[in-house]
Amino acid sequence: MIDLVIINPGNRFQVYQGLGQDFAAIEPPVWAGLIATYARKRGFTVSIIDANAENLSPIEVAHRITDMRPLLTAIVVYGHNPSASTQVMPAAGAICSAIKSSNADLKILLLGGHVAALPERTLREEQADYVCGGEGPATVSDLLEALRATMVPDLRKVRDLWYREGATVIRTPAAPLLDALDKEMPGIAWDLLPMERYRAHNWHCFGRLHNRQPYAALYTTLGCPFHCSFCCIQAPFKRGEQALNYREGLNSYRYWSPKTVLGEIDLLVNRYGVKNIKFADEMFVLNRKHVLALCQGLIERQYDLNIWAYARVDTVRDGMPEIMRQAGFTWLAFGIEAASERVRDDVDKGYEQQDIFQTIERVRKAGSFVVANYIFGLPEDDAASMQETLSMACSLNAEYANFYCTMAYPGSALYTRALQQGWPLPDSWSGYSQHAIDSMPLPTKHLVSREVLQFRDNAFQQYFSHSDYLDMIGKKFGHDTAAHIKTMASRRLVRALPDKPNTSRPLLHISESAPIAVLPLTRGAS
C-alpha cells in the first residue's frame, strides 16, 4: 500500500472556456510537488496524479485511487496564481465525491488556499474526511503518522486539522510555518510529475510560439509581506496561535537559499531540457540580495533561459533590470491594478503614479518585456476610473496585459468586507473564475456586476485588437505572433451573469450549524 497520493484537480474548460485549449498555460502543481518532497523526506511513499495536466475526469481519478488504495489521498487546491484557488474547488469537490462513491473507506484530505480560508465550510460542504487550515506539509505528515500508527488514529495530535467527531467539528492547534525550507522541503518532486505535458503561457513564448514546451514553475520564496485587501495569499500562512488574526501584520515571507534554487534549475535544464521557467513567488522581485544572488548564479551558468516572475513597480530598484535580463528574465509581471490613486489606496495598493511609467521604461530599456495586470471593479471604481485604467493600459502598451475583475476571494480582507456589508457573491465557486461562464465579480459603489464584467471583456477586445499594440507586437515578435494574438482576441467568452440583488449568502451555506470544538495545544501537537 502506498502511503500518500496527491491529486492536482482541474478543469481547464470550466475555468478558461476556449482559451484553455491553446492559449492558457498548463503549469506543474508546485504545491503538490513540494508536499511530496516533504513527505518523502519523512519516509512516506508518495505518488502524484495531475488530473489537470492529464485531462482526467473525476471518475477516472477515482478509479486510479481505488486501484492504488493509498493510506491517504490529499487533494491540493491551488491555481496558477495566488488568487486562483477558489476556482479549482468545483473540480476538487467532484473528485472527492467520485472517490467516496467508488470506495467510501478511502481517507481524503483537502488543503490549499481556499480550504485554509474556509476550513469549516469546506469540511461541511465537501465529501472529505479532513481539511487543512494552514500551509499543509506538517498536517499531511502528522496525519500520515496517525493513520499509520493504529486502526483508531489519534487525530488530536495532527496540527492544523479540521475533522468531525459525530456532530461536532474539531479544530486542532495550528502548525508553525516552515522556516528551514532548504532542509524541510528542498525542491519539487519532479520525477512524480508528467513533465512532458506542461506548457508555458502563450505570451511567455511570443516570437517562438512553437517552443512552449518543456516548461516548469518553481518557488524561490514562500508567502508575501504585503496585505493588499483584494488578495487571499495570506490565508494558508498562519503562525501557531496567530491563526485567528493572521491578517494583522503577519509577515509570511521566507526564502530558499540561492544554492538550493540553482540546484533545482540545474536539474530542470540538464534532466528535463527545460528552458521556459516561471518563478511562481507571489513577489519575487523584493529582496535585492536574494534576487541578485540568484541572477549571478544564472549568469555564470549561461543556460539561455526564458524566465518570468512577479514584481512591484516600487521594488525594481536601480541596476536590477539589467542584471535580471542577463540572467534570463525576459518577462516581468506587474500588478498595476488601477490608474486612479484613489482607487488603489482604497485596497492598500500604495505607490506613486510616476513609479509605474518609470519602472516599465527601465525594464524595457534593459531588454525585458512587461506583463501588466489590471483590475476593473475595485470598490471605488466608477465608469470614469475604469476608463482611465484602460486608457493608461493602452498608453503603456505593455507586451501583454491581463484584465481582471474584482473578486472577493475567500481569505482576502475584501471577502470579509463583502460579507459584513452584504455585497452579492457568486452562487458557486466557479463563479470566482475570471473566465468562466458564470463569472460574477463584485459590484462597486457605483456599478453593478454586469457592468464591470462587460467593461472587462470589452477592454480585452479593445486592447488586443488595437493597431498600436499589434504593430508593436509585429515589430518585436514577428507577424506570426501578431496573427496568433488576433486569433486569441477572436475567442469571445460566453457569459451568463444574472442581475443580482445587493444581498449575500451567509458565511456558512448549510442547512444547520453544528458546534466547533477548539482543541488546546498539547505536548503531542506542539
Confidence class of residue 260 from pLDDT cuts 50, 70 and 90?
very high
Beta bridge partners of 337: 374
Domain with CATH 3.80.30.20 in the chain: 197-490
Tell me what the mean pLDDT of segment 387-414 comes to: 94
Amino acid at 46: V
Can you tell me the distance from the alpha carbon of 264 to that of 68, in angstroms, rounded to the nearest whole number?
29
Of residues 324 and 233, which shows the higher confidence score? 324
**CATH homologous superfamily of 4-179+510-525:** Cobalamin-binding domain (3.40.50.280)
Can you tell me the distance from the alpha carbon of 204 to that of 189, in angstroms, rounded to the nearest whole number?
24
CATH 3.30.450.20 for domain 197-490: no
Give the list of residues 6+ apart from residue 513 with CB closer than 8 angstroms, or none. Answer: none
Q: Is the pLDDT of residue 6 over 80?
A: yes
- What DSSP element (H or E) covers 434? none
pTM: 0.90
Confidence class of residue 441 from pLDDT cuts 50, 70 and 90?
very high
**Are 256 and 293 in contact, with CB atoms under 8 Å apart?**
no
Please choose, from the candidates 298, 286, 354, the residue with its C-alpha nearest in 3D space to the C-alpha of residue 327: 298
Q: What's the whole-number average pLDDT of the chain?
A: 88
Task: Provide the 10 A C-beta neighbour count for residue 445.
Answer: 10
Please choose, from the candidates 148, 127, 144, 3, the residue with its C-alpha nearest in 3D space to the C-alpha of residue 68: 3
Q: Which residue has the cell 451555506?
A: 509
Confidence class of residue 77 from pLDDT cuts 50, 70 and 90?
very high
Q: Give the pLDDT confidence of 415-427 residue by residue, as tens digits.
A: 998 999 998 999 8
Tell me what the mean pLDDT of segment 104-113 comes to: 96
Give the list of residues 6+ apart from residue 285 with CB closer than 8 angstroms, or none. Answer: 291, 309, 310, 311, 312, 315, 316, 320, 324, 332
Q: Show the cell assigned to 67.
A: 486501484
- Residue 124's pLDDT is what? 94
Q: How far is CA 470 from CA 207, 389, 400, 462, 483, in A?
A: 13, 20, 11, 11, 9
Show contacts of 150-154: CB within 8 Å, 24+ apart: 154/524
Tell me what the mean pLDDT of segment 136-147 comes to: 96
Tell me what the mean pLDDT of segment 94-120 comes to: 95
Give the list of residues 6+ apart from residue 27 with CB closer than 8 angstroms, or none. Answer: 80, 198, 215, 217, 278, 280
β strands within 302-448, DSSP E: 306-311, 329-337, 369-376, 400-405
Give the list of residues 6+ apart from residue 387 with CB closer than 8 angstroms, or none. Answer: none
Three-point CA angle 16, 404, 17, nearest 5°: 10
- Residue 503's pLDDT is what? 42
Domain with CATH 3.40.50.280 in the chain: 4-179+510-525
Preceding peptide of 214 cis, ω within 30°: yes
Tell me what the mean pLDDT of segment 429-442 comes to: 90
Q: Is the pLDDT of residue 520 over 70?
A: no
- Residue 25's pLDDT is what? 87
Can you tell me the distance from the alpha carbon of 501 to that of 440, in angstroms, rounded to the nearest whole number?
13
Please choose, from the candidates 111, 289, 206, 133, the residue with its C-alpha nearest in 3D space to the C-alpha of residue 464: 206
String of DSSP letters for 92-160: HHHHHHHHHHH-TTS-EEEEEHHHHHSHHHHHHHSS-SEEESS-SHHHHHHHHHHHHH-SS--GGGSTT
Q: Is the pLDDT of residue 353 over 80?
A: no
- Residue 248's pLDDT is what? 43
Can you tell me the distance from the alpha carbon of 35 to that of 523, in angstroms, rounded to the nearest whole number?
24
